[in-house]
Structure 1
Amino acid sequence: MHTILPFFLAMIAAIVLLNIFAAKLKIAYPILLVVFGLLVSLVPGLPVIKINPDLIFFIFLPPLLFEASWAISFKEMKRWWRIIGSFAFLVVFFTALSVAVAANYFIPGFTIALGFLLGGIVSPPDAVSTGAIMKFVKIPNSTSAILEGESLLNDASSLIIFRFALVAVGTGQFVWQEASLSFLWMLIGGAGIGLLLAWIFVEVHKRLPTEPSSDIALTLIEPYLMYWIAEQFHSSGVLAVVCGGLYMSARRLIFLNSASRIKGYSVWESFVFILNGIVFLIIGLELPDIVGGLRFEGIPLATAIKYGLLVTGILIAARIISSYVAMLATFIFRPSVAPRASSRRRQMMMPLLLGWTGMRGVVSLAAALAIPITLENGTPFPNRNLILFITFVVILVTLLVQGLTLPYLITRGRLFQDFVDEEKEEQTRQRIKRELKEHGYHFLKNKHEKELHGHAGIERMLEHWEEKIKADDVGWMNEKNKIIIVEMLESQRQYLSELNKDISIDEEVIRQQLYQIDLEEERLKII
């Protein structure tokens, strides 16, 4: 313990420093973390990190999925649900099938079941890597929503494939009727359990006299409860966390106060950042142990690398092909929702970009490490080390090749320079800020002008919201005036909630303004 603890603390410090360095270089931090972990793993004498395969999903997935479901725009998910659904389910299954067939044909000892197991592991793209890269380039809201929505749901679909393949490998048989019923229960049961638990959690937050620290502590354990309870009923814990997280995210203004929202945002951002960093470091640190397992099984390293590159190529090709098929289907069946570009060339480049965003990461590693070391009868799990190594190669190659070239592809190709269906974010932000000022001013003037006519404080308040100029002396703000201002801020929140129904407005802009209102309410408490 005394050896491992300093090592973990050093890992966290390295994650922070590498993130700073990555921001300077304008490189996605997962890339540097993987490379750094690989280099550190070569240093002799360092403690070996071993994670119980049964715990790997439970430790990392619930909070990562829960935070992602809070960050995504549910409005945009509803708008693009067709293409998100196709990428999250159909494309994942097509990718897993392609990997299964190729592995069965080219890799000795790989059955179709083992191939599907490998396909389920490497088929879901990593949202963290894509999000980290997208910070350095500007993409349309539609593309961002598709990538974020896909990343939430494809984890569930790929892990369902992984689970069924794991059963097939262990038992040596696969009954389609039972699998179909089990698949439906995993989908319906997982979503239902997640929504039911989320409703209970919302009511608990609303009815208990919680403080920000209590609210944040509860949100930290809630995704784990959703995941664990759903798994106890043999449904999808991933879907439970995603659906429950989306439900609670849409009601955050109802059951969390401004202090809980502000402090919770900072806590969750740091928590998820550390979890992601640890996982990407583990990807690099695990390599020597995996290579040692290959040598023990008598598999040459060059042969394993060849298999890894083969699977990587299949993944990239399958995703690009699927992107063009999805675009063609959209133009045929739903031309009204198809993204429009200023030229035919840019329009044809869009699926290539979507296909090129298939970096693998956290979920793939977690799934690979979750493979049991032995089968139920005690025999070693077949080709476990080879599957782990192929997964590592896929993650490393997609991060380095696609991750480093994606920003260049976007900027050099000028794919989004003249998109005609995107409102400029800055113009939207300025318009909403102006409308909020007007809304606050009219709220105070219409509701309280007669009651507080001639009151110096309220007149000054009206002048503040009319001119939006802060006064130097804030001592005039008494408790009665604070109540009025808080009431006005709540009215602004309601106004923004109604404004968010406009599909032309980016929900992220709305959330930024809601965050500013929360800050304003908290500022009143210390005046």
Structure 2
Amino acid sequence: MLQNFIFFLVIVGIIVLLIMLANKIKVAYPILLVFAGLGISFIPGIPVVHVEPELIFLIFLPPLLYEAAWNTSWKELWRWRRIIFSFAFVVVFFTALSVGLVANYFIPGFSLALGFLLGGIVSPPDAVSAGAILKFVKIPKRFSSILEGESLLNDASSLIIFRFAMVATATGQFIWQDAAGSFVWMCLGGVAIGTLIAFIFMKLHKLLPTDVNMDIILTLMTPFIMYITAEELHASGILAVVSGGLFLSNRSHTFLSSSARLRTVNVWESFCFLLNGLVFMLIGLNLPQIVGGMGETSIYTAFGYGVLVTVVLIVVRFFAAYMAVITTVVMRNFISVADPQMPSWKTPVIMGWSGMRGVVSLAAALSIPLTLEDGSPFPQRNLILFITFVVILLTLVVQGLTLPLLIERFKIQDPDFTKPAKQIDSEIQIELAKIAVDKIRKEYPEKLEKFPVLKDQLQAWETRLNSSEIIFNYGEYEKIYKDILEAQRQWLINKNRQELLLDEEIIRKHLRLLDLQQEKIGMG
């Protein structure tokens, strides 16, 4: 037990080092983690990593999807709702159907149910992989918004397909009427359950005498309770987590204090950072076991099947991207659409090439049970796992390494945000200062003499209003201000060392304030 603990501790350390390396060389970290896991798995004496299939969904998916929903803009989600919903449901179903038919025709021993099962696993693109790749290039906000929104919902739709295919594989039959009714309940029930539990937790935050630590613990519990409750009621746990996360994220300012919001974000970022790293490392670590269990199918043949499925996924996504543009051009004559401009031919190319697979596909594949209810081995389980691995690897490496080059070559301008971000930031700061000055002048003029600090703050806000300078590129000013903050930070550290009776918590508080100042002006 102790040996395995040390092994996982080393794995976490390797994950951190590899992600730092990926940021340094500007390569998406999932690529390095997959190859690292594969390399580590061949080291003699390495412990076999085995996670119970039924725990995969419960451990990884609820927190990862909850954090993604929390950070998703409802405004952008609603703005691009038509294309997001079409990609998340229609395209996912069409992709799963295409993969199912191709697998049934070309892969020996694959029934249509098994083909659909494989299609449900590999159909959803992964937002984590796309986000890790797109962070190194400048891309219009609409692309990232569509990819984020699509990934939230297509996880749910693909896993619903996955569940129905599992039932069909296990029972050998598929009743469309029952499936349609179950599909409606899974969608509507999942959304209703997630929203209801989110509302209950919001009330708990408001009514209970919680502190910041308790608030953080409650947020960590929330996605798991949403998921488990929905699954127990045979609804979609994924949709419950997504809908609940969206509900709470848009109301976080009403039930969480500013301190709780700041610290909750930090905790969740670290938690999901670790989960994502472990999942991509697991992809590589599990490959030798998967290959060993494929039986008579050679690794070269299985790899060929993986390439075939990957090509199907890419072709279907390109087709869907161009159909979305054509539909937009046609339908704009009859209804109002989110984008009034004429779409460029480059748009569907970027969308079509952004279909990297990752966390959800792996979790779904690993969750396939080892045996059926009668005790017989689950048919083609290891081949499905290997094909999923090849799809994830190929889309990450081929699309992941070339997508930034494609975006740089196309030089797509952002049609939505034409002002520089720093100009928008400065304008907002000026408007906020104006609100503060008006508030003090109108409602608290008699308090200015009583509270000199209020007078000083008013003067600072008025100075900002009277200044006509808007800094677009900080340049030398940035270096000077950073040097000042560093000098203040060093003075605090030295004072803490020299005065033995000084409460160190006070020093830490002021160090955090300096960090917030540095973060606020974008110098972190």
TM-score exceeds 0.5? yes
Q: How many residues align?
A: 469
User: Could you list the per-position Cα deviations for residues 84-120 of structure 1 after superposition, in whole angstroms to 9, with x for gaps in the alignment?
Assistant: 0000000100100000000010001111110000000
Q: Which moved more, 1:424-433 or 1:135-144?
A: 424-433
Contact 1:156–1:236 under 8 Å retained in 2 = yes
Tell me the residue number matched to 2:478.
none
Tell me the residue number matched to 1:394.
391
The alpha-carbon deviation at position 200 of structure 1 amounts to 0.1
Contact 2:140–2:415 under 8 Å retained in 1 = no
Q: Which moved more, 1:138-147 or 1:218-227?
A: 138-147
The alpha-carbon deviation at position 245 of structure 1 amounts to 0.3
Counterpart AA for 1:357: S
Contact 1:34–1:283 under 8 Å retained in 2 = yes
1:385 equivalent to 2:382? Answer yes
Q: Secondary structure at the match of 1:347?
A: coil
CA distance in 1, matches of 2:48, 2:265: 33
User: Could you list the per-position Cα deviations for residues 256-294 of structure 1 after superposition, in whole angstroms to 9, with x for gaps in the alignment?
Assistant: 001101111111000000000000000000000000001
Counterpart AA for 1:438: K
Which one of 439, 444, 460 corresponds to residue 440 of structure 2? 444
Superposed CA RMSD in Å reads: 2.0
The alpha-carbon deviation at position 422 of structure 1 amounts to 2.6
Tell me the residue number matched to 2:510.
none
Tell me the residue number matched to 1:57.
57
CA distance in 2, matches of 1:367, 1:18: 25
CA distance in 2, matches of 1:427, 1:403: 32
Q: Secondary structure at the match of 2:293?
A: helix
Tell me the residue number matched to 1:242.
242
Tell me the residue number matched to 2:190.
190
CA distance in 2, matches of 1:455, 1:96: 67
1:332 equivalent to 2:327? Answer no
Which one of 412, 415, 418 corresponds to residue 420 of structure 1? 415
User: Could you list the per-position Cα deviations for residues 144-189 of structure 1 after superposition, in whole angstroms to 9, with x for gaps in the alignment?
Assistant: 1100000100000000000000000000000001000000000010
Q: Secondary structure at the match of 1:3?
A: helix
> Moved runs in structure 1, 4+ residues, more than 6 A?
none
Structure 1 gaps, min length 5: 473-515
1:347 equivalent to 2:344? Answer yes
CA distance in 2, matches of 1:146, 1:289: 36
1:52-451 paired onto structure 2 within 5 Å: 52-294=52-294, 297-334=295-332, 337=337, 339=339, 347-414=344-411, 416-417=412-413, 419-424=414-419, 425-451=421-447
Counterpart AA for 2:18: L
The alpha-carbon deviation at position 455 of structure 1 amounts to 4.5
Q: Which moved more, 1:459-468 or 1:214-223?
A: 459-468
Question: Percent of counterpart pairs with the same letter?
Answer: 57
Q: Secondary structure at the match of 1:400?
A: helix
Distance 1:454 1:271, change over 3 A: closer
Counterpart AA for 1:306: G
The alpha-carbon deviation at position 339 of structure 1 amounts to 4.6
CA distance in 1, matches of 2:131, 2:426: 25
The alpha-carbon deviation at position 27 of structure 1 amounts to 0.7
Counterpart AA for 2:370: I
The alpha-carbon deviation at position 34 of structure 1 amounts to 0.5
CA distance in 2, matches of 1:2, 1:348: 56
The alpha-carbon deviation at position 446 of structure 1 amounts to 1.7
The alpha-carbon deviation at position 454 of structure 1 amounts to 6.2
Q: Secondary structure at the match of 1:276?
A: helix
